[in-house]
Amino acid sequence: MIEVKDLVKKYGNHMAVNHLSFTVEKGQIYGFLGPNGAGKSTTMNIMTGYLGATSGEVLINGLNVLEEPEKAKKSIGYLPEIPPLYTDMTVYEYLSFVAELKKIPKKEKEESIEKVIDMVKLEDVEGRLIKNLSKGYKQRVGLAQAILGFPEIIILDEPTVGLDPKQIIEIRDLIKKLAKEHTIILSSHILSEVSAICDHIMIISHGKLVASDTPENLENLMSGQNTLQLSIKGDKEKVQKVLRSIKGVGALELLPTVEDGCVEINVTISDKTDIRENIFYECANNKLPIYTMKHNKVSLEDVFLELTESKQDAKEDNDILLSEGHIEEKEEVSEVSKEEKLDESNL
Amino acid sequence: MKAIYKRELKSYFDNVIGFVFIAILVAFTGIYFLAYNLAGGYPYFSYSLGSVLFIFMLAMPILTMKSFSDERKLKTDQLLLTSPVSISSIILGKYFAMVTVFAVPVCISFLCPIIIKANGTAFLVADFSTIFAFFLLGCVYIAIGMFISSLTESQIISAVGTFGILLVLYLWPSLIEFLPTTANGNIIGFIILLTALVFIIYSITKNWLISAVLEGIGLAAILITYIVNKDIFDNGLSKLLSNISLTAPFETFAYNQIFDIGGIIYYISIIAAFSFLTMQSLQKRRWS
């Protein structure tokens, strides 16, 4: 469907997109994830033919966007970061203008506008001037514009920005519905959004693709760092001694006691093997009853932070999804090694 | 192209801009018509049109200022440039919309020679062809304004820039008179002109070798011509520059009652050149 080959975009000395390559397959929802300023919007702008790349090319159904722009753009619907709305038009006028721009045949025009208005729930504001609409409605008009004519590929740059929680859920459902017949690429810096709707996540940082996989696989990639949270009745020293004797147990971290006489402990698993059974039997042999055992998988959030931020930052701002794009040069090194690691596991 | 044309045209009349533009032109055409033809009794309407040319400088920027700068500011250019329409049809759609708005006062002015006719002798053919030349000159100004608008995001800069350029074009014939007349003065003028041209070429190509070679060839050509035939340079600059006067062909129509086909071709080529430049300026923005 879409092939992006070795894309580079320079703004002066700044590399906005740095040798980006990926392919997009039909009928899936792709999520571009990355901190602000990572190059998501620039990449989308290049893919849709709004910007030219410094080098590299984009093929849409085998057509180069720059060489055969009119043919290639026909199969794309695009909602840019700021919805491109003519504020002095009414919603209906605007959509009918877009329909003409997209060269939708006259016979189908009215029907497809009605359908889109119905899908994005714009019936109430159909006849109002766009400039008098709220941000949420404007965003929806922008979305309506993108899906008008039902192009094969729909590219959405931060589609849920400015919407209230109810609208966000509606739009997500809409995107999922559209994905049955269309290929959808959306960008976001909100992780929960991407993991909720996307089949495939591409994490971009500094204009580079640092990871590209399904949400589940991305979580598994980091399974080397999985931890078990245990609550064991018994003596602190004994518990630690017993646990240390089990193969595959890495660092132990004592947590504050919750229940009297119990030890709360975090066990980092250094192997990729499942050692829960071993722990159970070993503890049972030593008469140490296990009250709880919880497998703490690395969340997507951790993966994201790992890949886009330096480790130190990640620990400090664990609770926020991302810190606003102040990423320093020094991470480059850790990123490169991450990339290699990912490549290996992809193979 | 049709979709863009329709939208633009409608937007001119949804805003007041279209009406203000038409009102200004009609009002001033009426005033000059009243003063020269009705009150003064002069039978040529073309004479009044010659004075309306001055109003162009004020009215044209109003019409052209928002054509591309507004799109860029509101980011609606993203819609146009990512939709399956070519850049040339975007430009033509917008250009023809502006020309259509401008055609309204021009059509109204066709009444004036007829009014003169109703009251005595009129020179309908001469007047109608002058109105035609007037229309073409207006189209040239619109093309220039459109180009300026494509260079900036701000409507104000676009309007002021267009006004400035139109003013220089209006004053062009008088400005040329200030140029030196002697051969020595002219040769310096030519060298400055050449250097400016080479500088523009350099800033586009960023290739100092080509620029240096061009400058060298140009200098040599000027010097050889100067040694061979010094007299060519007498008034050379003003002769050359007066050829680019935009108002001159119109004046041939208006004051000499000559149907100047060369002038019409000149106008059409300038329109084409500025539409092309607008296209380049839109293209360039995508690569910077």
A244 pLDDT exceeds 90? no
Same structural domain, A236 and A198: no
With respect to residue A321, please indicate whether it lies within any of the assigned structural domains: no
Mutate which: B7, B83, B85, vs A, most A CBs within 10 A: B83
How far, in Å, CA of B77 to CA of B85, rounded? 12
Same structural domain, A46 and A132: yes
CA distance A77 to chain B (A): 8
Query: Which residues of A fall below an 8 Å CB-CB distance to B?
Result: 45, 48-52, 69-71, 73-74, 76, 78, 80, 82, 84-89, 97-98, 100-103, 145
- What pLDDT does residue B266 have? 93
Domain containing residue A185: CATH number: 3.40.50.300
Those residues whose C-beta lies under 8 Å from the C-beta of residue B215, and which sit 6 or more positions away, are B194, B195, B198
Same structural domain, A268 and A122: no
- What pLDDT does residue A326 have? 39
A266 pLDDT exceeds 50? yes
Instruction: Please give the structure tokens belonging to residue A100.
Output: 């003409």
Torsion on CA atoms A253, A254, A256, A262, rounded to nearest 10: 130
Q: Angle A212-A346-A27 (CA atoms, 0-180°, nearest 5)? A: 45
- Chain B residues with CB under 8 Å of A52 CB are 286-287
Same structural domain, A92 and A159: yes
A286 pLDDT exceeds 50? yes
For range B133-145, the mean pLDDT: 95
Same structural domain, A205 and A244: no
Of B3, B76, B82, the CB nearest to A48: B82
- Domain end, chosen from A160, A186, A214, is at A214
With respect to residue A101, please indicate whether it lies within any of the assigned structural domains: yes
- Chain B residues with CB under 8 Å of A86 CB are 7, 11, 74, 76
- Write the DSSP symbol of residue B120: S
Q: Is B123 helix (H, G, I), strand (E, B) or coil?
A: coil
Of B6, B7, B84, the CB nearest to A70: B84
- What pLDDT does residue B21 have? 94
Same structural domain, A137 and A186: yes
Q: Which residue of B lies nearest to A47 if distances are taken between CA atoms?
A: B82
- Chain B residues with CB under 8 Å of A71 CB are 84
Cβ atoms of A306 and A342 closer than 8 Å: no
- What pLDDT does residue B154 have? 93
Same structural domain, A278 and A190: no
Same structural domain, A143 and A249: no
Those residues whose C-beta lies under 8 Å from the C-beta of residue A180, and which sit 6 or more positions away, are A27
Q: Structural domain tally of chain A? A: 2
How far, in Å, CA of B281 to CA of B286, rounded? 9
Instruction: Determine phi and psi for A149, rounding to 5 degrees.
Output: 85, -5
With respect to residue A102, please indicate whether it lies within any of the assigned structural domains: yes
- Domain end, chosen from A277, A296, A315, is at A296
How far from chain centre, in Å, is Cα A343? 19
Of B78, B82, B84, the CB nearest to A103: B84
Same structural domain, A158 and A24: yes
Map chain A to HEC letters: CEEEEEEEEEECCEEEEEEEEEEECCCCEEEEECCCCCCHHHHHHHHCCCCCCCEEEEEECCEECCCCHHHHHHCEEEECCCCCCCCCCEHHHHHHHHHHHCCCCHHHHHHHHHHHHHHHCCHHHCCCEHHHCCHHHHHHHHHHHHHCCCCCEEEEECCCCCCCHHHHHHHHHHHHHHCCCCEEEEEECCHHHHHHHCCEEEEEECCEEEEEECHHHHHHHCHHHCEEEEEEECCHHHHHHHHHHCCCEEEEEEECCCCCCEEEEEEEECCCCCCHHHHHHHHHHCCCCEEEEEEECCCHHHHHHHHHCCHHHHHHCCCCCCCCCCCCCCHHHHHHHHHHHHHHHHC
CA distance B76 to chain A (A): 4
Q: Strand pairing of A227-233 and A262-269?
A: antiparallel
For range B222-242, the mean pLDDT: 81
With respect to residue A167, please indicate whether it lies within any of the assigned structural domains: yes
Q: Kindly state the percentage of chain A with pLDDT values over 90.
A: 21
With respect to residue A70, please indicate whether it lies within any of the assigned structural domains: yes
If you count residue pairs, one on A and one on B, with CB atoms under 8 Å apart, how many are there?
69
With respect to residue A90, please indicate whether it lies within any of the assigned structural domains: yes
**A56 lies in which domain range?**
2-214
> pLDDT tens for residues B64-84?
999 999 999 999 999 999 999
Same structural domain, A177 and A238: no
A313 pLDDT exceeds 70? no
Q: Is B207 helix (H, G, I), strand (E, B) or coil?
A: coil
Of A70, A97, A145, the CB nearest to B86: A70
Cβ atoms of A263 and A239 closer than 8 Å: yes
Same structural domain, A30 and A117: yes
If 0-12 CB within 10 Å is exposed, 13-18 middle and 19+ buried, where does residue A222 land? buried
> pLDDT tens for residues B48-61?
998 898 898 889 99
A332 pLDDT exceeds 60? no
Same structural domain, A174 and A260: no
- The interface pTM score, or ipTM, of the predicted complex is 0.84
Domain containing residue A247: CATH number: 3.30.70.60
With respect to residue A315, please indicate whether it lies within any of the assigned structural domains: no
> pLDDT tens for residues B91-133?
999 999 999 999 999 999 999 999 999 988 888 999 999 999 9
- What pLDDT does residue B19 have? 94
Of B75, B86, B287, the CB nearest to A84: B75
Q: Which residue of B lies nearest to A101 if distances are taken between CA atoms?
A: B3
- What pLDDT does residue A331 have? 39
- Chain B residues with CB under 8 Å of A89 CB are 7, 11, 14
CA distance B287 to chain A (A): 5
**B286/A50 CB distance under 8 A:** yes
With respect to residue A314, please indicate whether it lies within any of the assigned structural domains: no
> pLDDT tens for residues B189-210?
888 888 998 998 888 777 888 8
- Domain end, chosen from A196, A214, A232, is at A214
A341 pLDDT exceeds 50? no
